[in-house]
Structure 1
């Protein structure tokens, strides 16, 4: 059974907009897709993580501790999704890629959050995909693809439907910073490039789009990044 890793942004899981219903709906979608694919999900921290990170930063906390707070938030979000999935997923949230990779089996959905300071959940999802030999990564975000600029700030921003790994790397010149959100992180981009691992970036709350992306359809409204 082919394996697919989903990087599910915290801004998708817990934005404060009918979260319980969405968790139930996406759990049903993941259960359906797990009949055809072995699914692994890495949950982000979203605004919950950013709240704690920004508050602690105001208090003068160092970057390591800020990252640790963010990781804790990702694991809480992962547990929320696990509760929606119930017995089709792991009851304990793994803290390493190695542990998560051992949990995969046909019909089971593996759920995890962050791992160690300095690694975003995008990077974790790429590491997990490499470890399990996934055929693609679906990056589910609050934006429906990659744009030439931040579409929330620039009305002239244009969506990019397809791009190469090298073009992705050109967009990722900034270093890691706890709580920072972007297209995909540099560590993850390096991993997908060396593994020639397709990366599909889609709107995570569009469940039909999610279904197409998990299936590897080229007919998506988001962005496909590949060789």
Structure 2
């Protein structure tokens, strides 16, 4: 059984690298893996603070600049974070960091770590591509957002947190266009593909590790189910 976790860079490196969190996160995953020899985990790592800082520097230096250039900067940040996470799981991860979900690679260990692929979308889309490739029906999306809201709570004081939302309504929330550094619970390009595949995405706060433990074991958790309500 393969569990796919999209781990937001805002969790790994909100500004500096969050070393205590990474130690605790690794312990949670190792305990989950030891409960069954059939379990495997795919981790897709975001860019976080390093991506934002370098993209900001690019815009300061270049003005409007190129969206593709900004995407590549963000992609490189995801790869740096992913290399760190892969090192943390060296005993369980036998494969180098995956940077192209369509390439040939051997998933022979218990953990696989992936990073950004190419411009035009975030690592959320890479997670969807890997879910399709390995036949996973669910993606756990961990970020600094505990739940999906009915609207952007920073702009709409009447926005309310949601337990569930279908893909059509979610697509209305996030729109259809990707811009580098766009902050949404799941990026628009990944949303379209996940909807086509009828995947379930669970959006939850990544820092609440007891909640993650419950989520991984299909117990009651705090978060939002996007798409179908069961898998």
> What does residue 181 of structure 1 align with?
183
8 Å CA contact retained: 2:8, 2:143 = yes
Q: Which residue does 1:97 correspond to in 2?
A: 101
Q: SS where residue 110 of structure 1 aligns? A: strand
Q: Kindly tell me the number of residue pairs found equivalent between the two proteins.
A: 223
The answer to whether the Cα contact below 8 Å between 1:130 and 1:191 also exists between their aligned partners in 2 is no
SS at match of 1:216: coil
Q: Deviating runs (4+, > 4 A) in structure 1?
A: 152-156
Unmatched runs of 5 consecutive residues or more in structure 2: none
Moved more, 9-18 or 66-75: 9-18
Shift of 1:128: 1.0
Instruction: Give the match for residue 20 of structure 1.
Output: 19
Could you tell me how far 1:4 is from its partner in structure 2?
A: 1.6
Residues 119/103 of structure 1: CA separation in 2 closer, same or farther (3 Å cut): farther
1:18-57 correspondence runs (5 A): 19-35=18-34, 36=36, 37-57=39-59
Q: CA RMSD in A?
A: 2.0
| CA shift digits 1:18-61 (9 cap, x unpaired) | 81111111111122223443210100011210111111022223
Deviation of the 1:119 alpha carbon: 2.2
Q: Structure 1: which 5+ runs fail to align?
A: none
Shift of 1:157: 3.0
Q: 147, 158, 168: which one pairs with 1:145?
A: 147
CA 1:18–1:50 in structure 2 vs 1: closer, same or farther (change >3 Å)? closer
Relative to structure 1, is the Cα distance of residues 18 and 98 closer, same or farther in structure 2, using a 3 angstrom cutoff?
A: closer
Greater shift, 184-193 or 122-131, is seen at 184-193
